[in-house]
Structure 1
């Protein structure tokens, strides 16, 4: 019997995966901070992402384990929030490593979240899994610590893959909704200089890529991004066109910093140049449904 476990699977990406995999697995278990219950045939099991409390038994005989746990980076980088961003990723990964090692029949394949933010700010070079250059700042160091916590513990009977995911564009969550709102009210111009690259992926390609990795048993680190990063100025211009809004007021760095303060987030989320490409997915023969941003926007705005 095929069994899928998604740790922290109640959010936007978790629901994208549940919708994709619901007819491909006989059993789906979501580890959640909410209460234990079963809804529409999906089993929700309470966990705190730090300690054992019975949830770990669910990992027995699992085909696939996907871990999405980690505090959202869409917040102010206060000392407290920084600590929680780091610890929420490290602790959940460590306790899952322990749970996998304790299993008599551990999950066959474990896919753990990571981030394409692990690469340095880049206007000059496309970053792939082989030749990508790792930078040095808070977000990058979180990503490095996260992957280290994941790979450091060897799990002889469980394959491991770290998903270096970029901005996932979806109808019901993630970055697309606030960006669409900005464009609709006339603030859909470039952000900062506008030359920074946006690495993105459509939600369907995100789910298909994870399915593909499982089928092909691809391990190690893998970039979950579309093949063509676009500059921020192009991204916003194409979004305005797709929405049908004629103009967009640009937001310079100073305004972005003020705006970010009021909406309790960090300007880095839009100012960092993420110039990342999916070399390993393409080399293994993965076909993207939404290879260019115009097609992705068209699909997302299709009522």
Structure 2
């Protein structure tokens, strides 16, 4: 297959590209660097989002486009950074849809990265793909506009999937390296009330799910989360146990808000999002239990 990835050098994108290449698929990474070239078989770089580039020519006839592009949300949410987070996602998605419009042979599917932040936050509600959004915070608004732009690809006969990621866990990227740091220093403990839900997913499942969405007749929103979310207090206790470190220092919400500002919602609030659609389509998770995941990650 011929598969294009926007955001292919990020944590998720690079893992996906590696797996696709290992299976001898032709992978095309969209890049702003016109001079970037590849010496890896099956890997190609396609100039994009700079003046004079015409990615639609090289990508014409591609089987799938996977859009994971966007500025990291893990920098403090100043007004400038919030604008960059929003604009980078919306602009990249608009560009991809415009590219699809100009193709003589558009892709069969567009998989657009998204987030469970779409639903808003709650300590009591359970969210599936059928749930409406109850969020009006920055993340929810960003995700709604992001998906709104991606949905326009359907006008050109392209099956469109919104992969709503939970917290992605991997040994060398995602949330795990940052979350384990306090425990390695012996100061790990419950963040905020501990009642907030953590909808997590292992990076191996993320990559497998993206491939599943390419091959399976699935469309619309897809929650990319483990079927067994946990509350933050359990998440922390299991992390500390796996590292053989104490889970004892409670970090109150005001302290987190003082340090992180508005971005504190990423750890102080959450949502219980379940992968109903994936399970209905027969996807089998490789990693379901947080204890097993932490024990696996600590060994890498």
Q: Which SS does the other structure have where 1:131 is aligned?
A: coil
Task: Check the 8 A contact 1:187/1:251 in 2, yes or no.
Answer: no
2:275 pairs with 1:274: no
Following superposition, the deviation at residue 296 of structure 1 comes to: 1.0
Q: Write out per-residue CA displacement over residues 143-162 of structure 1, whole angstroms, 9 at most, x where no aligned residue.
A: 11111111135343321111
Q: Which residue of 1 aligns with 2:226?
A: 226
Aligned counterparts, 1:224-263, within 5 A: 224-260=224-260
Deviates more, 1:35-44 or 1:233-242: 35-44
* CA separation of 1:66 and 1:52: change in aligned 2, threshold 3 A: farther
CA RMSD of aligned residues (A): 1.7
C-alpha change, 1:100 and 1:19, in structure 2 (3 Å) is same
Kindly tell me the number of residue pairs found equivalent between the two proteins: 298
For residues 51 and 121 of structure 1, do their structure 2 counterparts lie closer, same or farther at Cα, with a shift above 3 Å needed? Answer: farther
SS of residue matched to 1:267? helix
Matched, 1:9 2:14: no
Partner of 1:89, secondary structure, is helix
Deviations 1:8-66 (A, max 9, x none): 11011111111221233431111123442113222123323x76612232321111110
- Within 5 Å, give how 1:103-122 maps onto structure 2: 103-122=103-122
Q: CA deviation at 1:242?
A: 0.5
Report the TM-score, using the length of structure 1 for normalisation: 0.93
Who is 2:97 aligned against?
A: 97
User: TM (normalized to structure 2)?
Assistant: 0.94
Q: Which residue of 2 aligns with 1:131?
A: 131
| 1:106 counterpart SS class | coil
CA contact (8 A) 2:70 2:89 kept: yes
Q: Which residue of 2 aligns with 1:151?
A: 151
Q: Tell me by how many angstroms 1:190 deviates.
A: 0.8
> In the aligned structure 1, how far is the partner of 2:89 from the partner of 2:137?
17
Q: Hey, what's the Cα distance between the residues in 1 that align with 2:5 and 2:25?
A: 14
Provide the rounded CA distance (Å) in 2 between the counterparts of 1:26 and 1:247.
44
Can you give the 5+ residue segments of structure 1 that lack an aligned partner in the other structure? none
SS of the equivalent of 2:29 reads: strand
Q: Within the alignment, does 1:187 sit opposite 2:187 as a pair? A: yes
| Other structure's SS at 1:43 match | strand
Match of 1:23 in 2: 22
Identify the range of structure 1 (28-37 vs 66-75) with the bigger mean alpha-carbon deviation. Answer: 28-37
Whole-angstrom CA distance in 2 between matches of 1:187 and 1:11? 30
Asked if 1:299 corresponds to 2:296, the answer is: yes
- For the Cα contact (< 8 Å) 1:3–1:64, is it kept in 2? yes
- Structure 2 unaligned runs (5+)? none
Helix, strand or coil at the partner of 2:273 = coil
Deviations 1:50-92 (A, max 9, x none): 7661223232111111000111111222222121111111111
